[in-house]
Amino acid sequence: MLLSEVAGKVGLTFSGHDLEIRGVNTLVSAGEGDIAPLLSPKHLREFVATRASAVLCDAAHADAAPAGRACLVSANPKLDWARIVTLFAKPQGCLTGVSSQAFVHAEAELGEGVTLYPFAFIGARARIGRNSTIFPGVYVGEDCVVGENATLYPNSVLMAGTILGDRVTIHAGTVLGSDGYGYAQSPAGHVKIPQVGHVEIGDDVEIGANAAIDRAALEATRVGAGTKIDNLVQIAHNVQVGRHCLIISQVGVAGSTKLGNGVVLAGQAGLRDNITLGDGVQVAAQSGVGQDLPAGSLAGGSPSMDAATFLKVGLTLPKLPELMRRVRRLEKALEAVEKEAGRE
Amino acid sequence: MLLSEVAGKVGLTFSGHDLEIRGVNTLVSAGEGDIAPLLSPKHLREFVATRASAVLCDAAHADAAPAGRACLVSANPKLDWARIVTLFAKPQGCLTGVSSQAFVHAEAELGEGVTLYPFAFIGARARIGRNSTIFPGVYVGEDCVVGENATLYPNSVLMAGTILGDRVTIHAGTVLGSDGYGYAQSPAGHVKIPQVGHVEIGDDVEIGANAAIDRAALEATRVGAGTKIDNLVQIAHNVQVGRHCLIISQVGVAGSTKLGNGVVLAGQAGLRDNITLGDGVQVAAQSGVGQDLPAGSLAGGSPSMDAATFLKVGLTLPKLPELMRRVRRLEKALEAVEKEAGRE
Amino acid sequence: MLLSEVAGKVGLTFSGHDLEIRGVNTLVSAGEGDIAPLLSPKHLREFVATRASAVLCDAAHADAAPAGRACLVSANPKLDWARIVTLFAKPQGCLTGVSSQAFVHAEAELGEGVTLYPFAFIGARARIGRNSTIFPGVYVGEDCVVGENATLYPNSVLMAGTILGDRVTIHAGTVLGSDGYGYAQSPAGHVKIPQVGHVEIGDDVEIGANAAIDRAALEATRVGAGTKIDNLVQIAHNVQVGRHCLIISQVGVAGSTKLGNGVVLAGQAGLRDNITLGDGVQVAAQSGVGQDLPAGSLAGGSPSMDAATFLKVGLTLPKLPELMRRVRRLEKALEAVEKEAGRE
């Protein structure tokens, strides 16, 4: 693709002469025919030394571009880089059409242009939207609804009644609609409360590999449109996740907890059940949140506190043993002073 | 089903007139023909406003039931709710019988009434008990034994020699009998100690999605009858889990650790290897337990301490930076006093 | 196998008379025909009481071996035990050859001696090395390269372009090459940055069950030769893991972070993105590492500190509430002293 085409498609102008762009690469590894981005000033050294034929950067760094390189100047290089990579990325997979080695229930419906790989299973009354792709080993249970242009990667599982919007991507091994963890206590042991709700995933949601989102006890566990969930995340029954949230790897959200829109949960954070996090809340990695958090708040620590305090606590904590010794010294010194005073 | 039938089946009496119950629902969403439960006094407001045709509650709240609604009164509403939902829940799946698209080894044995979905694999000498259901993509390795009325959801994996009791449920993507993590050090690197033990799961155990329970190095990793394990839990080799334990999502239990009966491990807690937790121990979320805990003890924190102390530490910790400043002030003040005293 | 053969194969001599060894077992459970090891002095009591026909121990404990038992004496009992168990372990699986129920793309290449189970999928241009075994439900995407003598356990997934060395073992449900978690922010929401890199796994690497290793945004996420990764571990895009590392269950390593050789990350530890851990770094369980760590350092805590300090902090932390009270008492006492002094 000519650089002029690339520029046209992402709506940028470029300096330098036009040339054929063969691929995208990092500043360090790029060579003849590659385009590479400067996404952080930290990489300025690699930028000035790159052998890429073309570069992408913001206006402030355009002058630093190596001589002779074509340069696309962007007001938002990361976003434009996403668009450029999209031009060169090819979707995964090597088959099209509906494999005769897949299982499709007689009462299931496949939209036009659906790709169904061998060993995929589509249950009764399930409906797969147009142009969606279902990889090997995927299970789509009865009464599921998958929107258009969805991608279900290998061995992902949609238990009965799961509903996915359009352009949803589910990575390999992820399970949607497994039973919520709900038991009543009886003298004979834990008695299962059957989980008769389901899972609803909004448009443009992406969910990483080997994650698990449980069906609701009743009604629905919901993930709002545009939310992105990383690998190995646990979303328990009845959780309500807002729109455009970012939930990083290994986070766990316990039952019935509600996240507003634009919430960010960093890696390995845990949220207890039945709490509410307002819009735009950000939670630091490994935090344990046990109570409601108002919109816009930043939290860290386990148990969590406001992020600024957590930062200070983190700096102070290593000095705790020394603090203990200092207090002991103070106590002794004060005792001496008191004795002294008493003697006088 | 008539309300009188529902009441009869769970052994409750009801006030109000009999009516057809079509389904179970929440207090908020229930309508004509639904039954809905009051499971916590926190939902009293929703209770008095519900449009459910029938409600379930304890004796103390029966008078608050909305006028004209039939009311089942229960001494243990959560338990009776579990039983009522069970009456209305239908098992997942849309096929019965043994699919010709499944693989069954010539030396495997399937009990009467077994359902085997397409793309399930049953290895040599594996035995599947009566009325068990095995979903697509399940792997049952050689010499496995699955009890009666078991459910293996899609893509769950039983490596060779795994033994499941009766009425066991394994959710999608869960792996039982993967190799324990055992290596010996040599000058050439880590040398694998082959893991030749197996996994034994007791009756009525339920294990969530995408969990992993490793086979023992020798002998067996065991999970006792009635224990319920949530999604994404890790149980390492040679661990012995007692009966009726509750192990919440993302917990990790390291090798050879022993849990008594009725142990509760909250989400993301971690237990080191080779320790013993007595009967009824409860561990708070995200705790890290590094030593034996006596029966009945409550622990929290990482590293863990007794739960009451942990609660106080959690409240105190945010004040640590301020404490440090106060100690510094004390030191200066005391120095001044001492100087003063010296001068005198 | 005769004990003399066992001894010969692992290069040890033995005392006592030769006998037929039927299997390996623990000191406690071993019986007639078994060999059992003393791997820690903690088990001396079980050692002296074992009914094993033969034992393995170090020179220091050979005299304590029960009378009449044959005894192999080893300078490194754990390593020699690994070798002995290897003699008796049989590989999992019950089929050989290429199943007609597997899917092999016309452009894929299978080496000599490859075993391919039913319901395995091999994509276009994928190459499987000699004597490798691919279990049911495995997905090998297009352009993948699997080395010789590799084992891919059931339902493991290699997304397009994943490269595995020789003798690699991937346990059930593990996903290699899922998309990295990369988005650019736009007014319309999170815009996916297509992940066009891949994953490279070195020789002799073993990866546990239900783990996830993401492909790089560009170039490769790499795991060095001889590294052993446990269940449910998350390795994000562009991470570089050195050789002979040990990464225990439920660890998470965020994007672009680099581990040297011989790094040990204990269970549930988390590493932030874009940091570097030098050779031989050891990180305690549940730690949260937010910065570079020099070679050979030991770290613990969240946020992490040096391990010796962390140990002391862990011992001091439960006393924090009491420390707070002591400081309050000091403040009052000092105030009294000051008042007293003022009055004088």
String of DSSP letters for B190-238: EEE-----EEEE-TT-EE-TT-EEEPPSSSEEEE-TT-EE-TT-EE-TT
DSSP secondary structure, B31-75, as one string:
-TTEEEE--SGGGHHHHHH---SEEEE-GGGGGGSPTT-EEEE-S
What are the tens digits of pLDDT across the range B34-47? 999 999 999 999 99
Which of B85, B153, B318 shows the shortest C-beta gap to A193? B85
Let me know: does A241 contact A257? Beta carbons within 8 Å.
no
The answer to whether the beta carbons of residues C254 and A268 sit under 8 Å apart is no
- Same domain for C224 and C114: yes
DSSP state for residue C220 in the 8-state scheme: E
Asked if C252 and A268 count as a contact pair (C-beta separation under 8 A), the reply is: yes
Q: Catalytic amino acids of C?
A: 237
User: Domain end: B57, B88, B119, which one?
Assistant: B88
Question: Could you say which of C35, C61, C88 is where a domain stops?
Answer: C88
Residue B261: the pLDDT is 98
- Distance, in Å, from the CA atom of C259 to the CA atom of C246, rounded to the nearest integer, reads 11
Model confidence pLDDT, tens digit, residues B255-290:
999 999 999 999 999 999 999 999 999 999 999 999
Does A162 share its domain with A289? yes
**Which strands sit side by side in the sheet containing C70-73, from one edge to the other?**
C14-15, C70-73, C54-57, C34-37, C23-24
For residue A334, give the nearest of B94, B137, B334 by CB distance. B334
B304 and B320 part of one domain: no
Residues A149, A60 share a domain: no
Cα distance from B283 to chain C (closest Cα, Å)?
Answer: 15
B121-122 and B103-104: which strand pairing? parallel
pLDDT of residue C239: 98
Query: Which of C81, C172, C243 has the CB atom closest to B159's CB atom?
Result: C172
The CATH number of residue C64's host domain is: 3.40.1390.10
List the one residue out of A281, A275, A286, A215 whose CA is nearest residue A250.
A286
In A, which residues are within 8 Å of B118 by CB distance? 103, 121
Instruction: Give one word for A189, left, alpha or beta, with left for phi > 0 and alpha for psi -120 to 50.
Output: left
B173/B219 same-domain check: yes
Amino acid making up residue C330: L
The residue among C168, C261, C242 whose CA lies nearest residue C207 is C168
B339 to chain A: closest CA residue: A337
Question: What residue ranges of chain A have pLDDT lower than 70?
Answer: 343-344
Low-confidence ranges of chain C (pLDDT < 70): 343-344
In a domain, C93, yes or no: no
Alpha helices (H) along B267-319 = 307-316
CA C291, CA C289: separation in Å to the nearest integer? 6
Nearest CA in chain B to A329: B331
Is 80 exceeded by the pLDDT of residue B342? no
Q: Which of B106, B115, B98, B199 is nearest to B157 (CA)?
A: B199
Query: In this structure, are residues A220 and B108 in contact, taking their beta carbons and an 8 Å threshold?
Result: no
Chain B touching partners, 3 or more CB pairs below 8 A: A, C
Contacting residues of C for A89, CB less than 8 Å apart: 194, 196
Amino acid in position B214: D
pLDDT tens profile A164-202: 999 999 999 999 999 999 999 999 999 999 999 999 999
Q: Which residues of C285-305 are buried (b: 16+ CB within 10 A; e: fewer)?
A: bbbbbbeebeeebbbbbbbbb
Give the nearest partner residue to C25 out of B186, B218, B309, using CB atoms.
B218
Nearest to C248 by CA among C278, C220, C221, C285: C285
Which tops the pLDDT comparison, B337 or A124? A124
- Asked if residue B320 and residue B302 are part of one domain, the reply reads no
Q: Measure C200 CA to nearest chain B CA, in Å.
A: 19
Q: Which of B231, B241, B286 to mutate to test the interface with A (most CBs of A within 10 A)?
A: B231
Phi-psi region of A42 (alpha: psi -120 to 50; beta: other; left: phi over 0): alpha
- Are A52 and A13 found together in one domain? yes
Select from A115, A121, A205, A210 the residue whose CB has the most chain C CBs within 10 Å, as the one to mutate to test that interface: A210
pTM exceeds 0.95 for this model: yes
Q: Tell the burial category of A49 from Cβ atoms under 10 Å away from its Cβ (0-12, 13-18, 19+).
A: exposed
How far apart (Å, rounded) are the C-alpha atoms in residues C313 and A143?
54
Neighbours of chain A (3+ CB pairs under 8 A): B, C
On average, the pLDDT of chain C sits at 96
Task: Please tell me whether residue B336 adopts helix, strand or coil conformation.
Answer: helix
Contact A113, C220 (CB under 8 A): no
Q: Tell me which residue of C240, C249, C253, C245 sits closest to C288, measured CA to CA.
A: C253
Which active-site residues of B does the annotation give? 237
* The pair of three-digit structure tokens given for residue A191, joined into one six-digit string: 């008695």
**Gap between the Cα atoms of C243 and C250, Å rounded:** 20
The tens digit of pLDDT for each residue in B187-214 reads 999 999 999 999 999 999 999 999 999 9
Give C-chain residues touching B171 at CB under 8 angstroms: none
Q: Calculate the alpha carbon distances from B268 to A183, B232, B253, C135, C303 in Å.
A: 19, 10, 10, 31, 17
Q: Do B184 and C330 touch (CB under 8 A)?
A: no
Residues spanned by the domain of B67: 3-88
Q: Which of A26, A232, A324 sits opposite C323 (nearest CB)?
A: A324
pLDDT tens-digit map of B105-150: 999 999 999 999 999 999 999 999 999 999 999 999 999 999 999 9
The CA distance from C210 to the nearest CA of chain A, in Å, is 7
| % of chain B at pLDDT higher than 90 | 94
**Can you give the pLDDT at residue A340?**
79
C140 occurs within a structural domain: yes
Among candidate residues B300, B191, B274, B180, the one with its CA nearest the CA of residue B236: B180
Q: Residues near B232 by Cβ (< 8 Å), separated by ≥ 6?
A: A210, A212, A232, A234, A252, B208, B209, B210, B211, B249, B250, C210, C232
CA pseudo-torsion sign B102, B107, B112, B114: negative
**Residue B158: inside a domain:** yes
Distance from CA of A181 to the nearest CA of B (A): 6
Checking DSSP bridges between strand A264-265 and strand A246-247, what pairing results, if any? parallel
In a domain, residue A93? The reply is: no
Residue C68 and residue C41 in one domain:
yes
Taking the CA of residue A244 and the nearest CA in chain C, the distance in Å comes to 6
Taking Cα atoms as reference points, which of A137, C87, A316 lies closest to residue B139?
A137
Residue A138: CATH number of its domain = 2.160.10.10
Q: Which residue is catalytic, options A43, A61, A171, A237?
A: A237
Helix (H) / strand (E) element for A320: namely helix A320-343
For residue C82, give the nearest of B193, B305, B330 by CB distance: B193
Residue B239 domain-assigned (yes or no): yes
The answer to whether residues B109 and B127 belong to one domain is yes
pLDDT at B344: 54
CB contact under 8 A, A83 and C191: yes
- Chains with ≥3 Cβ pairs under 8 A against C? A, B
Q: Which of A94, A282, A337 to mutate to test binding with chain C, by most C CBs within 10 Å of its CB?
A: A94
CA distance A219 to A238: 8
Name the domain boundary from A88, A120, A150: A88
Partner-chain contact C76 B189, CB within 8 Å: no
- Residue C111 has φ and ψ, to the nearest 5°, of -70, 170
* Same-domain pairing of A37 and A79: yes
Same domain, A132 and A227: yes
- Closest CA in chain A for residue B135: A139
Say what the pLDDT of residue A305 is: 97
**B301 belongs to a structural domain:** yes
DSSP element (H, E) containing C35: strand C34-37
Q: Indicate whether A245 and A215 sit together in one domain.
A: yes
Residue A341 pLDDT:
75
- pLDDT (tens digit per residue) in A81-130: 999 999 999 999 999 999 999 999 999 999 999 999 999 999 999 999 99
Which pLDDT does position C263 carry in this prediction?
Answer: 98
Overall domain count for chain B: 3
What CA–CA distance (Å, rounded) separates C4 from C20?
9
Nearest to A173 by CA among B293, B137, B178, B296: B137
What single-letter amino acid sits at C114? V
Report the candidate in A231, B272, B37 with the shortest Cα–Cα distance to residue C253: A231
Q: What is chain C's alpha carbon radius of gyration, rounded to the nearest angstrom? A: 27
Cβ contact B254–C231 (<8 Å): no
Is B208 in contact with C103 (CB distance < 8 Å)? no
Residue A98 lies in a domain: no
ipTM, interface predicted TM-score of the complex: 0.96
The answer to whether residue A96 is domain-embedded is no
Task: Yes or no: say if B239 and B216 are a contact pair by the CB < 8 Å rule.
Answer: no
